[in-house]
Structure 1
Amino acid sequence: MISLTQPYNQVVLFGDSLFQLSCTPQDGFSFQAALQDLCMRRLDVINRGFSGYNTANALGVLPDLFPPPSATTPKIDYILILLGANDACLPIPTNSQQIPLDQYKQNLKAILTHPTIRAHSPKILLVNPPPLDEIRMLERDLEKGHGQASRSAAVSKTYSDAALTVASEVPGVVPIDLYGAVMRRAEQMTIGFSRSSLPLGSPGGERGGLEVLVPDGLHLGGEGYRVLFELVKPHIGPFDESREDYRHPDWKILNPGSLG
């Protein structure tokens, strides 16, 4: 049996507000809570989401976040990385978050191969950013006083596509196509949608199912997080249905002969 003083191994969520907000229940669902329920008594799910961060910001704090594994420091078994929504901002006078596409890809590779992460030999899942609803985002931008759009649905898609490309270039990284899954679900939810129409969320088009999945235009709602959970779930575990892999014994093992 593992020493009771040794910390549980971890599943780490590392990214921007899309992970920071994943702990908050929305429409009766919390992604982080669902993931912790899946891993209960085996792994701890740790949220290291930083609202507003781009990949340059994330690289800056990375060395401080994950000490090497030891007898008293938890080992990271899985790390989910979701960055790029802020890198994809447009370079306008009232927003400085933008990271050029080529630099974004370099930063992602630097994160995926960073010695601080690799010291744990974790399974790495790289999640690309979901679709941007530019129709709703423009409304919010004008409310905030930007005077123009701070983000573009088409530009954001190029960053989501780039994340999948980077995942394919780094051995051992599992790509999670959140963009594709959310957009497909949004299209299914949109009455009368045709592939010949403008993409959902694009100027001149309609919001359709994105109104539910990405309600503020940028961040996932509860149904959007459900889509993410279903994408991630097959890559965590599998766990022993007998519960013999619990870090601390199941109560029936401690109390033999007891009925459930």
Structure 2
Amino acid sequence: MAAPYPQVILFGDSLFQQAVRPDGFSFQAALETHCLRRLDVVNRGLSGYNTSNALQALPRIFPSPAPAGSKIEYLFVLFGANDASLPLPTNRQHVPLDRFKINLTRIITHPNIAAHKPKIVLVTPPPLDEIHIASKDVADGHGQATREAKISAEYSAAVRQVAAANPDVILVDLWKALMETAVAKTPGFDASSGAVLGDPESGVRGHLEQLLPDGLHMSSEAYRVFYDLVEPLVGVEWAGTPQEDRVAYVLPDHRVAPWLSEDEYWRRT
């Protein structure tokens, strides 16, 4: 097995699982490029999981640290899109809002994670295009929408609250960034009145249709917005340094590596 590098872990639901997609802009590939030779980016996105599922799986994903194991430097946590599902007979993903907040807190304070002392980043789930979701869910046999825009927004607000209650945790407000992007690219839409894109009350999907093609999951454009929020948070120890292309490599750059010359290496071996 290759020697362990420090790690960036993407822990979440399908929004992280799909971050590796090669079509268009790949969030994970961009982050791996940013971290190349310094940090391994490990995707633990689990499609369909809510925070209760995640807590039960956590000891298998994050076992107790071993002396020779990899250290988690950054942990990104993105749950809530499934927790916010409505409690329907055809959908078992719902987690009540108060339990969701407790679950998130338990995840970020779990002993198996805390032992690494990572930088923890909580990410709000993105907006929901309920107008699109409603028609899709009915077609899929649910009888009604499995999610509502207003309720999903409450779960994003809950992530903000958990981040605020944990001073060492960094918040990435993906809901806000994507909604602001969608509003800016929807000509004539006035959000100042309280209208929200994707909400049946507004009746307007606007550019949210491009950011959330199926109403829930993100497009390449949306992942690009997400990456622009994340990139400045990872690698502050090497960003902006005089030799940024070489600083903090796990194995040194070939121009400064203290390796033996070829002849000396062969004489010794």
CA distance in 1, matches of 2:163, 2:67: 31
Correspondence for 1:165: 161
- Alignment counterpart, residue 110 of structure 1, candidates 103, 106, 109: 106
SS in 2 for 1:64: helix
SS in 2 for 1:91: coil
- Alignment counterpart, residue 50 of structure 1, candidates 36, 46, 52: 46
1:212 aligns with 2:210: yes
Residue-by-residue CA offset, 1:36-81 (whole Å, 9 max, x unaligned): 1110000000000000000000000001111333342111000000
Bigger radius of gyration: 2
1:35 aligns with 2:38: no
1:17 aligns with 2:14: yes
CA RMSD of aligned residues (A): 1.7
CA distance in 1, matches of 2:65, 2:194: 51
- Contact kept, 8 Å, 2:65 with 2:112, in 1: the verdict is no
- Contact kept, 8 Å, 1:68 with 1:120, in 2: the verdict is no
Residue-by-residue CA offset, 1:143-173 (whole Å, 9 max, x unaligned): 2111111100000000000001001101300
Correspondence for 1:222: 220
Structure 1: state its 5+ residue gaps: none
Shift of 1:206: 1.0
Shift of 1:5: 6.3
Q: Which range moves more in the overlay, 4-13 or 91-100?
A: 4-13
Identity %: 54
1:134 aligns with 2:130: yes
SS in 2 for 1:107: helix
Correspondence for 2:253: 250
Shift of 1:131: 0.1
SS in 2 for 1:225: helix
CA distance in 1, matches of 2:77, 2:5: 20
Shift of 1:197: 6.3
Amino acid at match of 2:183: E
TM score, norm. by length of structure 1: 0.93
- Contact kept, 8 Å, 2:119 with 2:169, in 1: the verdict is yes
Structure 2: state its 5+ residue gaps: 260-269
Shift of 1:193: 1.1
- Contact kept, 8 Å, 1:67 with 1:73, in 2: the verdict is no
Query: Which 4+ residue blocks in structure 1 deviate beyond 6 angstroms?
Result: none
SS in 1 for 2:82: coil
Correspondence for 2:142: 146
CA distance in 2, matches of 1:173, 1:245: 23
TM score, norm. by length of structure 2: 0.90
Shift of 1:192: 1.0
Shift of 1:198: 2.5
CA distance in 2, matches of 1:121, 1:165: 21
Q: Which range moves more in the overlay, 95-104 or 5-14?
A: 5-14
- Contact kept, 8 Å, 1:6 with 1:71, in 2: the verdict is no
SS in 2 for 1:253: coil
CA distance in 2, matches of 1:47, 1:5: 18
User: Cα–Cα, structure 1 residues 246 and 134, in superposed 2: closer, same or farther, change >3 Å?
Assistant: same
Amino acid at match of 1:250: D
How many residues align structurally? 252
SS in 1 for 2:255: helix
User: Cα–Cα, structure 1 residues 185 and 142, in superposed 2: closer, same or farther, change >3 Å?
Assistant: same
SS in 1 for 2:171: strand
SS in 2 for 1:191: coil
Correspondence for 1:122: 118
CA distance in 1, matches of 2:71, 2:110: 15
Amino acid at match of 2:174: L
